[in-house]
Chains A and B, each alone.
Chain A
């Protein structure tokens, strides 16, 4: 067991974890933060995407011990005072989800995408989201959501 201290969605946690514990399992099983989900075993689907010190990572490829001393942000921490984050709002406005299983990871990846490139072209959005799979939407409405937020950030 290894002791780690991690700030998750603004709250400090100190826990003993097995060295092999993946960040996603730490979040889900030890902290009960089940907004972040697992979709594959191979880091291909991106359903488990969170932010580690502000940058998006697939939490199934990060060990919990690697997050020691860092800040983890998940989809559960995005809404403030009952107000959805603009990206959450855009996903709702643009019908960018159907079953919603990929949505937490897709939202976290989309936020990070705009942080790196605030005014992306459609092609840049599509390429930027290549690491996140969605089976329901055909991606078109996800692209629209990112465009909506990019537009509002410009204005």
Chain B
């Protein structure tokens, strides 16, 4: 539990203090600005007709019945907008020959997943719009559903997009021998004393943000204002302009209160395009808010991979090679980042270990399912799962303690900076310290003793112990590196500081939060650096009119990139203020010290000028240094030189009831090293939420399609989001190894819990069952899957439960 110190004295550093959130008051009182709360004069409400079939030709579509329904102002099919809607953008063409069949917002001639949008109705009320959908006639000619990833790649497979001639979008490869970052996996395989091969399945997941996606579009002549529940207002502005041919400077995007994202709101959505088309067509504001079932079927999914891993090692436990082949499910279309997600994971498979050789190959495959795209961690949780699971399997093969195997192979504290076999240079880390602290936090030795007792007594409830040591690449920037990965945009972030006449400070950031507490964290950074009260700082974000330059929030880049931009902008203000203070004090600026919000002459602290006086002097501009422009504003853009690499050790003990298959988490303890902590309360919150999502992948969540391609987990009735009763109290702690690549020393925390927890839990479940000869359970490890695995083994079947 974190102590909350809400009133640090003015001389106390604001960094590392658990300040309560500035954001909370309007949220706990219900005075919020969710997009769906908006009502504009003349606004129409939209309802979207969605395909009930996974794959079909649209033989005919007739919306005329809807046009005459009560309250309706217009109805359009994809054919009506075919010439103007463009294709939704994909910003990550991972290979030059990547197949991209295009992604229309409204299907024109063919639907490619159940939930694909085919028509839209605008009416006075949402109810009338929904009612009118009944009056649209669509004649579908069914095509075969394409669901199985391997079958989709086989010769003669049914094709999702006939015109593409293939279901394979791309093949992407990283080979350490070819890249010069390591040896060849073929050589390692030839010389291997021990080889372990495993197939792991990353099931599809629904991001499950609590606020359904919503968009309001207000047209005005050539211009358009879009309020959207999005993580990426700046990217949306640029991309929507390009998609619809609207000049970018005529597009304003506002992300007001956004009710969670988890990557699920990093994309340009069909609904944003459709609402814009309708609003411009009618010349009046238009609102679309999805239902939860629409969200489950039509907002993108995360994960969706088959992972075939081969690890080689010496008999005494030194790893010699890692060979990874992924088949990644793109779904029906390439959305903003779809093909790039597994490629990002390529760099994380070697994890924290010193692999002499490494190869990663990935095939991106089209299926008749909703597209995949970013979901909390995006590529890195999948990779971490693969390596942390197979390290446990290797340990079992070697009859070695999983922790001992990790210690034999991880990068030691003295070896940083360390360039990995995947070509990344980790700046700093201390895996030993985090692990030691986690073992103590969990009471690991006591748990091991209890496990031994239960095994010996054949207790029907067995204890399983799981370890996950991890690192990740955060702070998604260096623009140069993103360019080398063929990502279309840069990774810099911008900030500006505006000093008001009364000495209050407005800080404009290009990041766009959706629950993380950036307003509080950034206020702390500014208050600390500028020496002004925390309350005197306002953080402005999420509106391209007031914060025109930015790349938004994802991949733990807000603090590591955006926070550093804020620091740089603040420093520019201090430097200009120093000149003014020197002028006011008739002193040499080199003799001035700045501390606690005032300038004073070194050695003579009694004569000083507070920041507020300087702000007013700039406003009045009566007596500034000759030729000085009367503003105290600044701007900075930061493009880091490297990613940041948070790491940690997560330990999980589960109780597995071998009679029912039920899995309950007994203890969950983790120590994360995210560099310098800014606000420990916010950090714990991010870790808790991340753990919940990662544990849910291990035990509860899965987006399931039936054999015809219908989503059978289309609501919160069928898709198991964990409740308070499903999760334990987490034991969290930190070690601090500052990043050496940025001046704040921060590394990022948003994904850590999600990345590390899934393998920790599954390793624990498998550990409980290993004495029964079971070496894998496919996620989620539901009671039925666990029970079947136990039964199958008892009946003599081999291998993992599927």
Given known pairs A42-B716, A101-B259, the reply for A141 and B30 (CB within 8 Å) is no
Per the bound structure, the CA–CA distance linking A102 and B210 in Å amounts to 7
Chain A residue contacts of B682, Cβ below 8 A: 95
Per the bound structure, the CA–CA distance linking A36 and B30 in Å amounts to 7
Is the beta-carbon distance between B723 and A133 smaller than 8 angstroms?
A: yes
Is the beta-carbon distance between B724 and A100 smaller than 8 angstroms?
A: no
User: Within the complex, which residue of B2, B4, B30 is in contact with A34, where a contact is CB–CB below 8 Å?
Assistant: B30
Is the beta-carbon distance between A103 and B27 smaller than 8 angstroms?
A: yes
Is residue A44 contacting chain B, with contact meaning CB distance below 8 A?
Answer: yes
Q: Which listed segment binds B: A51-59, A61-69, A84-92?
A: A84-92
User: Within the complex, which residue of B30, B257, B686, B730 is in contact with A76, where a contact is CB–CB below 8 Å?
Assistant: B30
Q: Mark A72-103, 1 if CB is under 8 A from B, else 0.
A: 00111011000010001001110101111111
B-contacting residues, A12-62, CB 8 Å: 18, 20, 28, 32-42, 44-45, 47
Closest beta carbon of chain A to B558's beta carbon, Å = 13
Is the beta-carbon distance between A88 and B29 smaller than 8 angstroms?
A: yes
Is residue B300 contacting chain A, with contact meaning CB distance below 8 A?
Answer: no
Is residue B504 contacting chain A, with contact meaning CB distance below 8 A?
Answer: no
Is residue A117 contacting chain B, with contact meaning CB distance below 8 A?
Answer: no
Given known pairs A99-B515, A126-B724, the reply for A107 and B34 (CB within 8 Å) is no
Is residue A135 contacting chain B, with contact meaning CB distance below 8 A?
Answer: yes
A-contacting residues, B32-62, CB 8 Å: 32, 34, 36-37, 39
Closest beta carbon of chain B to A44's beta carbon, Å = 4
Is the beta-carbon distance between B37 and A78 smaller than 8 angstroms?
A: no
Is residue A151 contacting chain B, with contact meaning CB distance below 8 A?
Answer: no
Chain A residue contacts of B1, Cβ below 8 A: 144
Output the residue of B27, B690, B725, B730 with the most chain A CB within 10 A: B27
Is the beta-carbon distance between B260 and A135 smaller than 8 angstroms?
A: yes
Is the beta-carbon distance between B729 and A122 smaller than 8 angstroms?
A: yes
Per the bound structure, the CA–CA distance linking A130 and B203 in Å amounts to 25
Is residue B190 contacting chain A, with contact meaning CB distance below 8 A?
Answer: no
Chain A residue contacts of B717, Cβ below 8 A: 42, 44
Output the residue of B29, B684, B690, B691 with the most chain A CB within 10 A: B29
Is the beta-carbon distance between B689 and A37 smaller than 8 angstroms?
A: no
Per the bound structure, the CA–CA distance linking A47 and B211 in Å amounts to 9
Is the beta-carbon distance between B724 and A142 smaller than 8 angstroms?
A: yes
Minimal Cβ-Cβ distance residue in B for A89:
B28
Chain B residue contacts of A47, Cβ below 8 A: 210
Given known pairs A35-B32, A44-B715, the reply for A137 and B689 (CB within 8 Å) is yes
Per the bound structure, the CA–CA distance linking A32 and B31 in Å amounts to 11
Per the bound structure, the CA–CA distance linking A102 and B188 in Å amounts to 52
Chain A residue contacts of B257, Cβ below 8 A: 99-100
Is residue A111 contacting chain B, with contact meaning CB distance below 8 A?
Answer: no
Is residue B118 contacting chain A, with contact meaning CB distance below 8 A?
Answer: no
Is residue B24 contacting chain A, with contact meaning CB distance below 8 A?
Answer: yes
Is the beta-carbon distance between B292 and A100 smaller than 8 angstroms?
A: no
Per the bound structure, the CA–CA distance linking A22 and B517 in Å amounts to 33
Is the beta-carbon distance between A39 and B34 smaller than 8 angstroms?
A: no
Is the beta-carbon distance between B20 and A99 smaller than 8 angstroms?
A: no
User: Within the complex, which residue of A44, A79, A99, A103 is in contact with B514, where a contact is CB–CB below 8 Å?
Assistant: A99
Closest beta carbon of chain A to B495's beta carbon, Å = 22
Is residue B258 contacting chain A, with contact meaning CB distance below 8 A?
Answer: yes
Is residue B10 contacting chain A, with contact meaning CB distance below 8 A?
Answer: no
Is the beta-carbon distance between A138 and B681 smaller than 8 angstroms?
A: no
Q: Is the interface of B mostly helix, strand, loop or mixed?
A: loop
Given known pairs A92-B20, A129-B723, A130-B725, the reply for A97 and B28 (CB within 8 Å) is yes
Chain B residue contacts of A42, Cβ below 8 A: 292, 715-717
Closest beta carbon of chain A to B466's beta carbon, Å = 18
Is the beta-carbon distance between B29 and A138 smaller than 8 angstroms?
A: no
Per the bound structure, the CA–CA distance linking A32 and B529 in Å amounts to 42
Is the beta-carbon distance between A35 and B30 smaller than 8 angstroms?
A: yes
Per the bound structure, the CA–CA distance linking A115 and B691 in Å amounts to 31
Chain B residue contacts of A97, Cβ below 8 A: 24, 27-28, 515
Q: Is the interface of A mostly helix, strand, loop or mixed?
A: loop
Is the beta-carbon distance between B292 and A79 smaller than 8 angstroms?
A: no
Chain A residue contacts of B729, Cβ below 8 A: 122, 140, 143
User: Within the complex, which residue of B28, B212, B721 is in contact with A91, where a contact is CB–CB below 8 Å?
Assistant: B28
Is the beta-carbon distance between B692 and A141 smaller than 8 angstroms?
A: no
Is residue A152 contacting chain B, with contact meaning CB distance below 8 A?
Answer: no
Chain B residue contacts of A8, Cβ below 8 A: none
Is residue B516 contacting chain A, with contact meaning CB distance below 8 A?
Answer: yes
User: Within the complex, which residue of B28, B260, B723, B730 is in contact with A107, where a contact is CB–CB below 8 Å?
Assistant: B28
Is the beta-carbon distance between A100 and B262 smaller than 8 angstroms?
A: no
Total residues of chain B contacting the partner, CB 8 A: 58
Chain B residue contacts of A104, Cβ below 8 A: 28, 30
Is the beta-carbon distance between B210 and A135 smaller than 8 angstroms?
A: yes
Per the bound structure, the CA–CA distance linking A18 and B260 in Å amounts to 32
Is the beta-carbon distance between A99 and B724 smaller than 8 angstroms?
A: no
Chain A residue contacts of B514, Cβ below 8 A: 99
Is residue B409 contacting chain A, with contact meaning CB distance below 8 A?
Answer: no
Is residue A150 contacting chain B, with contact meaning CB distance below 8 A?
Answer: no
Minimal Cβ-Cβ distance residue in A for B684:
A95
Per the bound structure, the CA–CA distance linking A127 and B257 in Å amounts to 29
User: Within the complex, which residue of B28, B716, B724 is in contact with A44, where a contact is CB–CB below 8 Å?
Assistant: B716
Q: Mark B685-702, 1 if CB is under 8 A from A, else 0.
A: 110111111000000000
Chain A residue contacts of B211, Cβ below 8 A: 37, 39, 99, 101
Is the beta-carbon distance between B293 and A41 smaller than 8 angstroms?
A: yes
Closest beta carbon of chain A to B366's beta carbon, Å = 29
Is residue B291 contacting chain A, with contact meaning CB distance below 8 A?
Answer: yes
Per the bound structure, the CA–CA distance linking A40 and B727 in Å amounts to 21
Is the beta-carbon distance between B259 and A45 smaller than 8 angstroms?
A: no
Is residue A149 contacting chain B, with contact meaning CB distance below 8 A?
Answer: no
Given known pairs A40-B716, A45-B716, A139-B727, the reply for A99 and B292 (CB within 8 Å) is no
Is residue A134 contacting chain B, with contact meaning CB distance below 8 A?
Answer: yes
Given known pairs A75-B30, A133-B721, the reply for A101 and B260 (CB within 8 Å) is yes
Closest beta carbon of chain B to A21's beta carbon, Å = 9
Per the bound structure, the CA–CA distance linking A126 and B665 in Å amounts to 14
Given known pairs A47-B210, A135-B210, A136-B515, the reply for A143 and B724 (CB within 8 Å) is yes
Is residue B487 contacting chain A, with contact meaning CB distance below 8 A?
Answer: no
Is the beta-carbon distance between A98 and B724 smaller than 8 angstroms?
A: no
Closest beta carbon of chain B to A4's beta carbon, Å = 18
Is residue A6 contacting chain B, with contact meaning CB distance below 8 A?
Answer: no
Output the residue of B1, B259, B682 with the most chain A CB within 10 A: B259
Per the bound structure, the CA–CA distance linking A89 and B260 in Å amounts to 22
Output the residue of B2, B31, B258, B723 with the most chain A CB within 10 A: B723
Is the beta-carbon distance between B689 and A136 smaller than 8 angstroms?
A: yes
Chain A residue contacts of B693, Cβ below 8 A: 135
Given known pairs A42-B717, A98-B517, the reply for A138 and B259 (CB within 8 Å) is no
A-contacting residues, B529-556, CB 8 Å: none
Chain A residue contacts of B515, Cβ below 8 A: 97-100, 136
Per the bound structure, the CA–CA distance linking A103 and B30 in Å amounts to 9
Closest beta carbon of chain A to B547's beta carbon, Å = 20
Is the beta-carbon distance between A100 and B715 smaller than 8 angstroms?
A: no
Is the beta-carbon distance between B681 and A95 smaller than 8 angstroms?
A: yes
Chain A residue contacts of B37, Cβ below 8 A: 28, 34
Chain A residue contacts of B721, Cβ below 8 A: 133, 135
Closest beta carbon of chain A to B463's beta carbon, Å = 20
Is the beta-carbon distance between B727 and A138 smaller than 8 angstroms?
A: yes
Which B residues have a C-beta under 8 Å from some C-beta of A? 1-2, 4, 20-21, 23-25, 27-32, 34, 36-37, 39, 127, 208-212, 257-260, 262, 291-293, 514-517, 681-682, 684-686, 688-693, 715-717, 721, 723-725, 727, 729-730, 753
Q: What are 16 sample pairs from A and B whose C-beta atoms fall under 8 A apart?
A: A37-B32, A37-B211, A42-B717, A75-B30, A76-B31, A84-B25, A88-B28, A92-B28, A95-B681, A95-B682, A98-B515, A135-B262, A136-B260, A138-B753, A142-B724, A144-B1
Given contacts A84-B29, A99-B515, 18 further A-B contacts (CB under 8 A): A37-B32, A41-B715, A45-B716, A75-B30, A76-B30, A91-B24, A93-B20, A97-B24, A97-B27, A97-B515, A99-B259, A101-B209, A101-B260, A126-B723, A129-B725, A133-B721, A135-B210, A139-B723
The 7 closest A-B pairs by CB, nearest first: A35-B30, A99-B515, A101-B259, A100-B27, A138-B688, A44-B716, A138-B692
